[in-house]
Amino acid sequence: MSRRPLSLILYAAATALLQPLVPLILDRRARRGKEDPARLGERLGRSATPRPEGRLVWLHGASVGESLSLLPLVEAIRRERPETAVLVTSGTRTSAELLAARLPAGAIHQYAPVDAPSAVRRFLDHWRPDLAVFVESELWPNLILGARARGTRLALLSAKLSEASFRNWSRLRSAARALLGAYDLILVQDARAAERFAALGVATQGLADLKFGAPPLPADPAAIDKLKPVTKRRPIVLAASTHPGEDEQILDAFVQLAVPGAGPPLLVLVPRHPERGEAIAQLCADRGMSAARRSQAASPIGCDVYIADTLGELGLWFRLARLAIMGGSLVEGIGGHNPLEPARLGCPCVSGPFVANWRTVYDELEAAEAVARLKEASALDPYLTSAVLDGRILADMAAKARAYVEARDAEAREVPARVLELIP
């Protein structure tokens, strides 16, 4: 490998100096619930799980969306190369819990090591990956260059650079070229990403957006059958993956809703972080709304708001809802959540204005009249009214969204073949 730029040498030196502080930082995060106390060793590159014999492919996605987007690729590797072991790493507790439930047999999950030299060395010494696949913008210098130095082949899928990241890397072009030049395969998310990589002097090999190609979210058929009688009494409006500051806006819109000749819909509110269930119940009480919590096995019958403070059940609610309000989009700083998940299940959706993480997808859906992007929650009223009455306008939106996502999913399913070619 060619000599590293000075900026990367300094980065390695700085992270080496800070290594003694890493356990303290992780302990503090664990006390705040942001790390799994029982698995902090994995963040330091230590694993209690033995490495399987033979070839091993390592796939990494930082958080929930990125790691779940890898599932079709994991399944393709297990199907096409059953003798190859698969390791999936992620960085958040929520992603770990969801992957534990959804990874196919034979795939291993671990927390990703922090990008400190000793943690990276222990991780790579233990797992010895033959191929490493990263998603979106995970550019950890010690991890990437350390793997490359050991002969690991590298792929970056759904590659993108935010405007801020692009500006930063533009000031460190030699570092960007050294890092990104370590990859054997870079498939960018869209044309804008291709332009940014080209401006940094980095060659890419085509388009691939792993947001597409995923299977529909799963749901327990018994749970669907149990809840269907509820939908016959009242249409369900779903608030999916909400964050603080959004619940209040959505509840206020419901309090003010009045549909002549019809009763109110049932609001099913799914917080992004289930531990917020109690706080949301208090928000409902403050507004004079009755609430029941799914985590307490309460029934949704007879309440104004059903708080689905559980993990992994969005597939259930997208199947049952007349309309979905996508969370992460009504307050700044989150960037929106995945509108393709309701589209795959024929559930019409609306969002707020803050969808930076999904801007291209929302732009395309909006151009196809397949989604509504609202300036604020107070603009929900006509969509809620449609959900209560006949829902024909919403059904048309859902059909267009489903057609859009099915076409893009078909394109994305060609990606696993490109990755399989890199497995020795």
3-state secondary structure of 305: strand
Q: Of how many residues is the chain composed?
A: 424
Q: Rounded to an integer, what is the distance from CA 170 to the centroid of its chain?
A: 27
Q: Kindly tell me the sign of the dihedral angle through the C-alpha atoms of 405, 267, 98, 114.
A: positive
Catalytic residue among 35, 42, 53, 66: 66
One-letter amino acid of 358: W
Nearest to 157 by CA among 338, 407, 420: 420
Q: Rounded to an integer, what is the distance from CA 306 to the centroid of its chain?
A: 24
Q: Is 83 a catalytic residue?
A: no
Q: Are 313 and 219 in contact (CB under 8 A)?
A: yes
In order of 42, 81, 291, 295, the CA distances from 245 in angstroms are: 34, 46, 18, 22
Q: Are 326 and 336 in contact (CB under 8 A)?
A: yes
Q: Are 241 and 270 in contact (CB under 8 A)?
A: yes
One-letter amino acid of 58: W
Q: CA 360 to CA 65: how far, in whole Å?
A: 16
Token digits of residue 408: 């893009």
- Determine whether 248 is exposed, middle or buried from the number of CB atoms within 10 Å of its CB (0-12, 13-18, 19+): middle
Token digits of residue 336: 């929106």
In order of 146, 314, 336, the CA distances from 241 in angstroms are: 36, 9, 9
62-101 exposure pattern, b = at least 16 Cβ within 10 A, e = fewer: bebbbbbbbbbbbbbbbeeeeebbbbbbbbbbbbbbbbee
Q: Kindly tell me the sign of the dihedral angle through the C-alpha atoms of 272, 410, 358, 373.
A: negative
Phi and psi for 347 in degrees, rounded to 5?
A: -105, 120
Q: CA 239 to CA 349: how far, in whole Å?
A: 10
- So which residues are the catalytic ones? 66
